[in-house]
Amino acid sequence: MKIPTLPVGALLLCTAAHAAPSAWDFEYRGFYDDHDPGVLRTDVAVTGRIVGEDADGDGVIHESELDSLWMNMRLWSGDFARCGGGTVDHDCQLDVFSFRPGSGDLDISASWRDIYATQLEYHTEEFVSGDRYVARSSYGHDYPVDDYYFFGAGTTLTITPVPEPGAWMMLGCGLVALAALRKGKAGG
């Protein structure tokens, strides 16, 4: 008995492609400035990408199910899923994370710090979804910069699914499998 190796291989490849974690881009835009509380600052945004999988099937991606949480803030960009183990002078921290795909429920509490005590220089940022975004920095003896932004009625959250490479692989696998089946029927 001859085993159709091309269709079987395509099906195995398709199964492997489907197992990849999912990704979503997000953007929080529009914050109220503490220095001028009545003004919505639409030029202020925190963006990022969530990569993870709801491994326990509860409909929520928790911190332990993240592969990556890349956040772009004013002073620093980095992967908050890889936080911890920093030094006294340099560290990032992810205190809270939960995301319910499809609902727009995203809860993040994250911060980072970078302190150069010998140069009297520091940089810190803190982000708590639904509450505040704070960026602080000081360069030596220069006047420090403290930006306090707060969430309000004008703050928007946009979450966009990122097309997975696996989706394109599945399409290609399906086309290969169909071609192999068609060839098998034409030859047999």
pLDDT of residue 122: 76
Assess whether 176 and 152 both reside in one domain.
Answer: no
At residue 57, the pLDDT reads 95
Predicted pLDDT at 12: 46
- If asked whether residues 102 and 174 sit together in one domain, one would say no
Residues 67 and 144 in one domain: yes
Model pLDDT for residues 116-148, shown as the tens digit of each residue: 655 567 788 999 999 999 998 877 666 677 899
Give every residue of the chain whose pLDDT is below 50, as ranges. 1, 3, 8, 10-13, 15-19
Show the domain range for 76.
23-163
Look at residue 56 in the predicted model and tell me its pLDDT: 96
Three-state SS string over the chain comes to: CCCCHHHHHHHHHHHHHHCCCEEEEEEEEEEEECCEEEEEEEEEEEEEEEEECCCCCCCCEEHHHEEEEEEECCCCEEEHHHCCCCCCCEEEEEEEEEEECCCCEEEEEEEEEEEEHHHCEEEEEEEECCCEEEEEEECCCCCCEEEEEECCCCCEEEEEECCCHHHHHHHHHHHHHHHHHHHHHHHC
37 and 60 housed in the same domain: yes
pLDDT at site 100: 97
Query: Do 13 and 60 share a domain, yes or no?
Result: no
Q: Are 84 and 145 found together in one domain? A: yes
* Whether residues 132 and 48 fall in one domain: yes
Domain count, the chain: 2
